[in-house]
C-alpha cells in the first residue's frame, strides 16, 4: 500500500517558520537546513553561503567544463534581474537527495561520468549515447529564462544547453509518437532520498511532441557560464519555463517516445494537485494556496505571477481547443 507522506510544499501555514526568523540571514539558513518551507506571505529568501562552501561550480570530475561559457541567444530576454548564482545553486528541489532545499552537498555524491542516455520507444532505431558524445553533436547556446516553482518561489537564470527540438531530431521519432517520457537516474546507493520507498522512483516527467519541439523547451547542461552543478540536475535536465518547475526533470537518463500520456512522479503521488500539463496561471490556485504571486529568490517581496510565466506569446497556441483539459494544474 502506498503510504502518503507530506511533500515539500505541503507544510500548513501554521508550521511555516515565523517571519521574525526570516529577518536574520543566519537564522534563515538554519531554517532551510531544518527542512522544506512553504513560501507564503512575504517570507524572504537570502543567501546562505556557508564557510568553505564550494557549491557554485560544477565539480572537477565534469569533462564538459571547458565547453562553457557559450554564446548567449539574445532572443530570450528577461523582465527582471538575474538571481544570484549562490542562491540558484544552493536552494534546490531534488527529492532524490532529500526533501529539504539544501541538498546541494548530498548531490555531490552522484557520479555523472560515465552517463549514458537511452533514446527508445517509438523511434526509427533505439540507441544509447554518452553525454559527451551528445554534447559534441548539439549546438550549445545560453538563454536567460525565468523559472517558477509550484511552491510560489521563482528565479531567473542563464541556462546553457540546446533546444530540445534538436534532441527530438536526433531521436527520429515515428509519426505515431505523441509524447516524450523522461526518466531520471535511479541509484539509492548515492541518492539518499531514493531509499524512501513511499516515493514512486524514478522521477518521471512527460511532454507532448508539440511541447517538446516548441522553441522554448530547452535541454540544460550548464548555468552561469559553467557546466551544470549536480544539485541543479547535471549532466542533463530540462527547462520548460512556461510550466511549473516540477516539469523540469533533472538527471535524465532516458527519453522514451510513446503514444501513451506519461504519468509523472508527482501525478502518481497526488494527481489532484500535480497534473500532466502544469502550465503557470496566476488565476488558477493550487488546491491549498494561491498562485497569484511569487517570491523571487533573494527578495522579501511578492511579485505578480504571469500567465504561462510570461511566455504566452511562445506557447499559448499549443493549447488552443483544449479547454476541457486541466491545463494549469
Ligand atoms: N527533477 C528530479 N529528478 N527530481 C526532483 O525532485 N524537482 C523539480 C525539478 N526537477 C525535481 C526535478 C522541482 S519541484 C523544481 S522547482 C526544479 O527541479 C528545481 O530546480 P533547481 O533546483 O535547479 O532550482
**Across the strands, what pairs with 256?**
120, 181
253 φ, ψ (degrees, to nearest 5): -120, -10
Q: Are strands 252-258 and 179-184 parallel, antiparallel or unpaired?
A: antiparallel
Residue 20 has pLDDT above 90, yes or no: no
| CATH code for the domain of 38 | 3.90.420.10
CB distance 280 to 307 below 8 Å: yes
Rounding to the nearest 10 degrees, give the CA dihedral for residues 227, 233, 235, 240: -90
Mean pLDDT to the nearest integer, 140-162: 98
Mean pLDDT to the nearest integer, 96-106: 96
CB-count exposure of residue 39 (10 Å: 0-12, 13-18, 19+): buried
Residue 78 has pLDDT above 60, yes or no: yes
**E strand or H helix at 132:** helix 131-137
Residue 225 has pLDDT above 80, yes or no: yes
The answer to whether residue 326 is domain-embedded is no
The answer to whether residue 189 is domain-embedded is yes
Q: Give the three cell numbers for residue 298.
A: 533573494
Helices (H), 222-285: 265-270
Range of the domain at 42: 13-319
Q: Give me the pLDDT at residue 38, please.
A: 29
Three-class DSSP category at 168: helix
Determine which of 164-168, 196-200, 208-212, 254-258 has the lowest per-residue pLDDT on average.
196-200
**Of 262, 227, 17, 54, residue with least CA distance to 142:** 227
Report whether residue 9 contacts ligand 1, using a CB cutoff of 6 Å. Answer: no
Distance between alpha carbon 2 and the CA centroid of its chain, in Å?
25
Query: Where residue 28 falls among pLDDT bands split at 50, 70, 90?
Result: very low
Residue 231 alpha carbon to ligand 1 centre in Å: 9
Report whether residue 55 contacts ligand 1, using a CB cutoff of 6 Å. Answer: no
Cell 514512486 sits at which residue? 200
DSSP character at residue 239: E
Q: Give the three cell numbers for residue 1.
A: 500500500
The answer to whether residue 207 is domain-embedded is yes
The answer to whether residue 8 is domain-embedded is no
Q: Give the three cell numbers for residue 16.
A: 511555516
Which residue among 185, 190, 233 has the greatest number of ligand 1 atoms within 8 angstroms of its CB, and so is best to mutate?
A: 233
Q: Which residues of 316-326 are buried (b: 16+ CB within 10 A; e: fewer)?
A: eebbeeeeeee
Count of domains for the chain: 1
The answer to whether residue 59 is domain-embedded is yes
Residue 95 alpha carbon to ligand 1 centre in Å: 8
Residue 156 has pLDDT above 80, yes or no: yes
Contacts of 5 (CB under 8 A, 6+ apart): 196, 198, 199
Q: Give me the pLDDT at residue 21, please.
A: 33
Contacts of 18 (CB under 8 A, 6+ apart): none
13 φ, ψ (degrees, to nearest 5): -50, -40
The answer to whether residue 6 is domain-embedded is no
The answer to whether residue 147 is domain-embedded is yes
Distance between alpha carbon 87 and the CA centroid of its chain, in Å?
15
Report whether residue 184 contacts ligand 1, using a CB cutoff of 6 Å. Answer: yes
**Across the strands, what pairs with 147?**
155
The answer to whether residue 3 is domain-embedded is no
Residue 125 alpha carbon to ligand 1 centre in Å: 30
Give percent of the chain above pLDDT 90. 80
* CB-facing half-sphere around the CA of 6: CA atoms within 13 A: 12
Residue 134 alpha carbon to ligand 1 centre in Å: 22
Amino acid at each position: 500500500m502506498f503510504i502518503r507522506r507530506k511533500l515539500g510544499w505541503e507544510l500548513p501555514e501554521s508550521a511555516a517558520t515565523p517571519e521574525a526568523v526570516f529577518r536574520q540571514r543566519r537564522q534563515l539558513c538554519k531554517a532551510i537546513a531544518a527542512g522544506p518551507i512553504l513560501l507564503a506571505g512575504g517570507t524572504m529568501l537570502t543567501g546562505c553561503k556557508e564557510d568553505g562552501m564550494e557549491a557554485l561550480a560544477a565539480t572537477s570530475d565534469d569533462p564538459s567544463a571547458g565547453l562553457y561559457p557559450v554564446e548567449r541567444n539574445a532572443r530570450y530576454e528577461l523582465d527582471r534581474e538575474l538571481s544570484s548564482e549562490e542562491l540558484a545553486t544552493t536552494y534546490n528541489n531534488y527529492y532524490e537527495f532529500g526533501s529539504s532545499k539544501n541538498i546541494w552537498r548530498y548531490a555531490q555524491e552522484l557520479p555523472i561520468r560515465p552517463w549514458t542516455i537511452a533514446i527508445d520507444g517509438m523511434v526509427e532505431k533505439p540507441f544509447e549515447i554518452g553525454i559527451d558524445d551528445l554534447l559534441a553533436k548539439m549546438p550549445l547556446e545560453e538563454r536567460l529564462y525565468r523559472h517558477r516553482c509550484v511552491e510560489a518561489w521563482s528565479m531567473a537564470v542563464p541556462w546553457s544547453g540546446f533546444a530540445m527540438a534538436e534532441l527530438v531530431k536526433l531521436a527520429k521519432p515515428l509519426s505515431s509518437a505523441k509524447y516524450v517520457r523522461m526518466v531520471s537516474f535511479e541509484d539509492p546507493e548515492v541518492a539518499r532520498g531514493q531509499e524512501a520507498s513511499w516515493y514512486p522512483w524514478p522521477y518521471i516527467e512527460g511532454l507532448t511532441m508539440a511541447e517538446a519541439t516548441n522553441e522554448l523547451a530547452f535541454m540544460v547542461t550548464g548555468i552561469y557560464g559553467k557546466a551544470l552543478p549536480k544539485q541543479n540536475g547535471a549532466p542533463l535536465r530540462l527547462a520548460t519555463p512556461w510550466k511549473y518547475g516540477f516539469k523540469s526533470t533533472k538527471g535524465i537518463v532516458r527519453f522514451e517516445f510513446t503514444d501513451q500520456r506519461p504519468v509523472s512522479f508527482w501525478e502518481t503521488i497526488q494527481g489532484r494537485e500535480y497534473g500532466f500539463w502544469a502550465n503557470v496561471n496566476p488565476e488558477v490556485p493550487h488546491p491549498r494556496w494561491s498562485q497569484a504571486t511569487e517570491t523571487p529568490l533573494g527578495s522579501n517581496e511578492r511579485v505578480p505571477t504571469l500567465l504561462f510565466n510570461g511566455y504566452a506569446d511562445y506557447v499559448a497556441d499549443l493549447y488552443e481547443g483544449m479547454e476541457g483539459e486541466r491545463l494549469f494544474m
